[in-house]
Amino acid sequence: MTKSQVSKTKQISSAFQAALPSPTPPRGEGKVGTTRNRGEGRLGHWVLVFGNYLGFGIWNLGFIFLLLFFLIGVGCQRSKAGITVAGSTSVESFAELLAEEYISRHPESQIYVQGGGSTAGIEAVMSRTANIGMCSRPLMGKEKNLYAVTIAKDAIAIILHPKNPIQDLSLDQIREVFSGKIRNWKELGGPDHPIFLVTREEGSGTREAFQKFVMGKEDIGLEALVQDSNGAVRQVVASNHNTIGYISLGLVNDQVKALKISGVEPNMTNIDNGRYTLVRPFLFVFNEEPVGEAKSFLEFVLSPLAQKLLLKEGLVPVLPKLAQK
Amino acid sequence: MNLKEKIIEKIFLLIALSSITILALITFFIFEEGIPLILKVGPKAFLLGEKWIPSKGLFGIFPMIVSSFWVTFGALLLGIPLGLACTIFLSELIPPSIGILLRPAIQLLAAIPSVIYGFWGLIVLVPLIQNYLGGPGLSILAGSLVLSFMILPTIITISEDSLKALPPSYKAGALALGATHWQTIWRVLIPAAKSGIVASIILGMGRAIGETMAMIMILGNAVKMPNSLLDSARTLTTNIGIEMGYASGDHRQALFATGIVLFFIIMALNTLAIFLSRRRVH
């Protein structure tokens, strides 16, 4: 790895110098070659110049071969029977856990779990590159024609740094904070410090749910820091006293503090009795009613055992009996 | 024998051309996906618009263009003096025993994956900036600092190569005429190797503009126009990188359109590199 990287830099440098008139051309160049040879040299020159134009001086034989080997390798792996689950990064970590459990019971099966986002997951299912799509928002438009199963529900927690003295905000206050109307913790009864917002990127299921539940028609302030996963949001909030963000309740740990909303603590009881309202479905999406491996995985996910696992991870199970416990 | 060489030559030409075909295909695809959106939004609203809210159909990438230049400029401001000093030290002033250690170390800098640079910046630099300078920490300043380290190997290896390519007679002549070692370096060797040094800087700039992973981790990715070095920012590449996963429809096309802008910036940079280094020679 090290060696190839280094030699790449060297290649760029030599390719570049070849494309430029070298400061000291070797003496006698051009005198020896025949006309035809010089023509070919010029073609080579143009090839290099063109390559450099687009910043792709590194394309070369070895690289292509490497790519080929890699593709062949991937192809061989995938030919082993198995199903692919792709989509929302919010569901991904839970799906990985479920897949591990499932494989430990069915050692002959393979389940590949990939992230990418709710929309990407649905597109992957539609184009049949994935068997199951994970989605962390309600289906929209033509997506509704797909076969979707709610595997669990997830609450969204508004998170702060644990040292932030604020414990409780109303939905209206949270909206004003995220739309940039309230810019200092002082206005909420906290220390005199500017508020740094942390949000998810456009198109994220968590962001869409937050937008729907909290923001309504207001926009999230453009000055908000944008992170591309629940974990990254948590990391930023955990490392800065003045931030506020939102993530899946299941991913809240002791690095951050989940805010009460108008006095309602985000916990199983309050989610179940409907007092905590920031709750969204986690869906498994299929093209049609699943069969074979996909069906047996879905059945496993909906079984009491798997649902109990999800409950332990902080999600709200779809089996009503479990949720009450 | 001659025939065999010719065949080999042709095979290599074919392979070289195939890589360019791939390049042409990529280019075609980017333009095919991106152009319709630019036309739909209007080139002016796209390039100079200050609001990027894809869910509301607002695709203005001006803050990202500005941020890209801020971050790159900052990286060059730190990277060029550091890189050149290092080059001069490595090629002229260094005792050979240290060179054996230093050179591979610098080349190793190029081998470190950018995600490691990003992680280091996030864990070490960001809290420092947050504690001592204020702001969210995830900022242009942090991004520029990390980028300046990332472009060092590019600047150092290429400009050292161009210093080494100078005929030894330059140095011998200058010394023979009574110039000191420093005068020889500063007045003779550096000007003579200028084309390579300029090329190295522009290639470093290309790397800085193109860097994505580390910048996603460090810049904070806010879409607002940055007002200071301590503000969070989003560059053109991070815009694509961070939103790619979930984008569909117009939003996805807008990311390709961002790619087109990036494409033109890189083209302009490389043209500049070729033009500048040609002019110095004559």
Say what the pLDDT of residue A8 is: 42
User: A116 has which bridge partners?
Assistant: A87
Cβ within 8 Å of A, B 204-263: 206, 210, 216-217, 220-224, 232, 234, 241-243, 245-248, 251, 263
Residue from A243, A251, A257, A229 nearest A198 by CA = A243
Asked if residues B199 and B158 have their Cβ atoms less than 8 Å apart, the reply is: yes
Give the span between the Cα atoms of A11 and A141, in whole angstroms: 50
pLDDT tens digits, residue range A21-39?
Answer: 444 444 444 434 333 444 4
Residue the block writes with tokens 């075909």 = B21
Q: Quick check: B118 contacting A, CB < 8 Å?
A: no
Q: Do A219 and B246 touch (CB under 8 A)?
A: no
At which residue do the structure tokens 């932030």 appear? A164
- What pLDDT is stored for residue A322 in this prediction? 55
B272: tokens are: 């500049």
DSSP output for A174-221: HHHHHTTS--BGGGGTS-S-B-EEEEEPTT-HHHHHHIIIIITTSPPP
Put simply, the answer to whether B242 touches A20 (Cβ < 8 Å) is: no
DSSP label of B233: B
Contact list in B for residue A54 (CB cut-off 8 A) is 23, 27, 263, 266-267, 270
Bridging pattern class, strands A168-169 and A260-261: parallel
ipTM score over 0.90, yes or no: no
Cβ B224 vs Cβ B88: under 8 Å:
no
Following CA atoms A106, A107, A111, A113 in sequence, which dihedral angle do they give, to the nearest 10 degrees?
A: 110
Identify whether the C-beta of residue B90 lies closer than 8 Å to the C-beta of residue B103.
Answer: yes
Chain B contacts of A240, Cβ < 8 Å? 130, 136-137
Do A196 and A225 meet the contact criterion of CB atoms below 8 Å apart? yes
Task: Give the angle B209-A197-B231 at the CA atoms, nearest 5°.
Answer: 40
* Confidence (pLDDT) at A21: 44
Residues near B13 by beta carbon (within 8 Å), at least 6 away in sequence: A43, A44
Give the nearest chain A residue to B215 (CA atoms): A227
Nearest to B248 among A5, A19, A119 (CB): A119
pLDDT recorded at residue A81: 64
Q: How far is B224 from chain A (nearest CA, A)?
A: 5
User: Strand pairing partners for A84?
Assistant: A112
Is B246 within 8 Å of A51 when comparing Cβ atoms?
no
Alpha-carbon gap, residue A100 to A93, rounded angstroms? 11
Please report where in the chains the tokens 């080929």 appear, as a residue: A68
What's the CA gap between B109 and B11, in Å, rounded?
A: 35
Q: Are A215 and B53 in contact (CB under 8 A)?
A: no
Nearest CA to CA, how far is B237 from chain A (Å)?
Answer: 14
Q: Cβ of B242 and A226 within 8 Å?
A: yes
Rounded CA gap, B216 and B208, in Å? 13
What is the spatial distance between Cα B35 and Cα B161, in angstroms, rounded to a whole number? 40
C-alpha–C-alpha distance, residues B237 and B256, integer Å: 11
Residue A80 has pLDDT above 60, yes or no: no
DSSP line for A272-305: HTT-S--EEEEEEEESSS--HHHHHHHHHHHSHH
Residue A7's SS3 state is helix
Number of residues that make up chain A: 325
Q: Are B165 and B183 in contact (CB under 8 A)?
A: no
When pLDDT is cut at 50, 70 and 90, the band that residue A70 belongs to is low
SS3 at position A247:
strand
Burial of B43 (0-12, 13-18, 19+ CB in 10 A): exposed
Cβ within 8 Å, pair B278-A56: no
B-facing residues of A in 50-79 (CB < 8 A) are: 50-56, 59-61, 64
Query: Do residues A258 and A252 lie in contact, with contact meaning Cβ atoms separated by under 8 Å?
Result: yes
- Chain A residue at shortest CA distance from B267: A53
Mean pLDDT rounded to a whole number for chain B: 90
How far apart are the CA of A43 and the nearest CA of chain B, in angstroms?
Answer: 9
CB A96 within 8 A of CB A51: no
Q: Is residue A156 predicted with pLDDT exceeding 50?
A: yes
Task: From chain B, pick out residues whose CB is under 8 angstroms from the CB of A203.
Answer: 54-55, 243, 245-248, 251
Average pLDDT over residues A178-207: 90
Judged by DSSP in three states, B1 sits in: coil
Using CA atoms, how far residue B193 sits from B177, B188, B234, B236, B276, in Å, is 20, 9, 36, 33, 13
Q: State what percent of residues in chain B have pLDDT above 70.
A: 98
* Residues facing B52 on adjacent strands: B59
Listed residue (B171, B168, B190) closest to B180, CA to CA = B171
CB crowding A80-93: b at 16 or more within 10 Å, else e: eebbbbbbbbbbbb
User: What's the residue count for chain B?
Assistant: 282
Q: Which residue of B has its CA nearest to A54?
A: B267
Q: Give the Cα separation of A173 and A260 in Å (integer).
A: 12
pLDDT band of B141, cuts 50, 70, 90: very high
B173/A27 Cα distance (integer angstroms):
19
Interface membership of A222 toward B (CB under 8 Å): yes
Q: What tens digit of pLDDT does each residue of B155-172 get?
A: 999 899 999 889 999 999
Q: What is the pLDDT of residues B227-264, one digit of tens each?
A: 988 999 999 999 999 988 777 788 889 999 999 999 99
Between B7 and A117, the higher pLDDT residue? B7
Q: Choosing among B195, B203, B246, B277, which should be mutated to test the A contact, i.e. which has the most A CBs within 10 A?
A: B246
d(CA B120, CA B114): 10
Question: B18 and A64 in contact by Cβ < 8 A?
Answer: yes
Residues A59-72, mean pLDDT to the nearest whole number: 60
Distance from the Cα of B122 to chain A's closest Cα (Å) equals: 9
- Residue A152, SS3 per DSSP: strand
Give the pLDDT score at A69: 65
- Shortest distance between the Cα of B201 and any Cα of chain A, in A, equals 12
